[in-house]
């Protein structure tokens, strides 16, 4: 079973290849960037669960990459482990002050690095900072963003869900279901890149509950673009036979039932749907708006 998505940022191709092969053999999904700018672009397109980041890079150094990741709402939660030849105490302090989670110097013991990666991922999951499947901000960070909404009057919350997702996993299994969740996470990031802004927040809570926090004037465009992109690509998760007939067959109480393909549903709320005294009220109203959208 896949353990998570790692991004290795290392300009030494030999080291990068060694780490890619090693962590791939352990069941991680591994991507490699050889430059700082490339790492930022890859992170924007597909959120990793953890980044192993070299400091000495040919364009942006690792400190600058870390600073940019920490200053962006969509990437500020990602665990970062610095991997570098710099072993001065001041270098370590500088990296940790920028928000790095750990620091390991070259030459390094790959088993030690493995344990540090494992511990950082476990800590992020335990503290509900990131969703283990999509790598998106999860419960704790979502709650922080929702609390901030209580002090603002210019926001919109888009609450997404997948209709017929349970029926899909009943037929295709949880591994296929995780593939769908990863697709939705990536797709929402692409939508925000296309019609949103870097300050729009994307979160993943629950099983198939996703949200975007944005400004009111962008909400409808984000919703329409997300649903359009999902509808264009959802058929790729089904078998040829199911695509041909346009539905899947499930068994309930001994009877076969025809179930439509999954659809992305979305409810939108704004401050006008309040007033809201706490984040519980925001989530309840958002859930009701999504329920009505799925009728």
Bridge partners of 256, per DSSP, are 251
Instruction: Give residue 184's pLDDT.
Output: 97
CA distance 180 to 163: 12
CA distance 234 to 164: 12
Phi, psi (degrees; rounded to nearest 5) at 82: -75, 135
Give yes or no for a contact between 135 and 181, defined as CB atoms under 8 angstroms apart: no
Give yes or no for a contact between 79 and 121, defined as CB atoms under 8 angstroms apart: yes
Residue 88: is its pLDDT beyond 60? yes
Confidence of residue 95 (pLDDT cuts 50, 70, 90): confident
CA distance 83 to 107: 9
Phi, psi (degrees; rounded to nearest 5) at 219: -60, -50
Residue 114: is its pLDDT beyond 90? yes
Cβ-Cβ contacts under 8 Å for 169 (sequence gap 6 or more)? 176, 177
What proportion of the chain, given as a percentage, has pLDDT over 90?
72
Measured CA angle at 66 (ends 62, 67), to 5 deg: 115
Closest CA to 72 of 177, 155, 189: 189
pLDDT, tens only, 143-199: 999 999 999 999 999 999 999 999 999 999 999 999 999 999 999 999 999 999 888
Confidence of residue 1 (pLDDT cuts 50, 70, 90): very low
- For tokens 């920490």, the residue is 70
CA distance 117 to 79: 9
Q: What is the CA radius of gyration of the chain?
A: 21
Residue 32, token pair as written in the block: 């490699």
* Domains of the chain with CATH codes: 5-126 (3.40.50.2300), 139-293 (3.30.70.270)
């Amino acid at each position: 079973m896949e353990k998570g998505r790692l991004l290795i940022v290392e300009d030494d191709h030999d080291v990068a290849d060694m780490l890619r092969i090693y962590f791939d053999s352990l069941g991680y999904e591994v991507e490699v960037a050889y430059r700082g700018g490339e790492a930022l672009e890859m992170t924007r397109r597909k959120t990793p669960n953890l980044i192993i980041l070299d400091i000495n890079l040919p364009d942006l150094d690792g400190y600058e990459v870390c600073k940019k990741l920490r200053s962006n709402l969509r990437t500020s939660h990602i665990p970062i482990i610095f991997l570098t030849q710099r072993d001065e105490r001041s270098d370590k302090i500088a990296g940790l002050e920028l928000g790095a989670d750990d620091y390991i110097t070259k030459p390094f013991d790959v088993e030690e690095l493995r344990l540090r990666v494992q511990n950082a991922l476990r800590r992020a999951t335990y503290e509900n900072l990131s969703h283990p499947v999509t790598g998106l901000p999860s419960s704790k960070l979502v709650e922080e963003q929702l609390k901030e909404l209580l002090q603002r009057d210019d926001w919109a919350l888009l609450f997404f869900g997948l209709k017929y997702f349970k029926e899909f996993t009943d037929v295709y299994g949880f591994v296929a279901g995780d593939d769908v969740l990863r697709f939705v996470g990536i797709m929402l990031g692409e939508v925000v890149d296309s019609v949103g802004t870097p300050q729009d927040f994307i979160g993943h809570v629950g099983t198939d509950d996703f949200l975007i926090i944005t400004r009111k004037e962008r909400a409808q465009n984000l919703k329409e673009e997300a649903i359009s992109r999902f509808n264009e690509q959802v058929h790729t998760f089904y078998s040829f036979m199911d695509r041909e007939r346009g539905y899947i067959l499930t068994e309930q109480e001994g009877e076969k039932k025809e179930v439509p393909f999954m659809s992305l549903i979305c409810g939108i709320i704004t401050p006008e749907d309040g007033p809201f005294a706490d984040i519980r009220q925001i989530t309840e109203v958002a859930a009701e708006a999504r329920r009505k959208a799925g009728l």
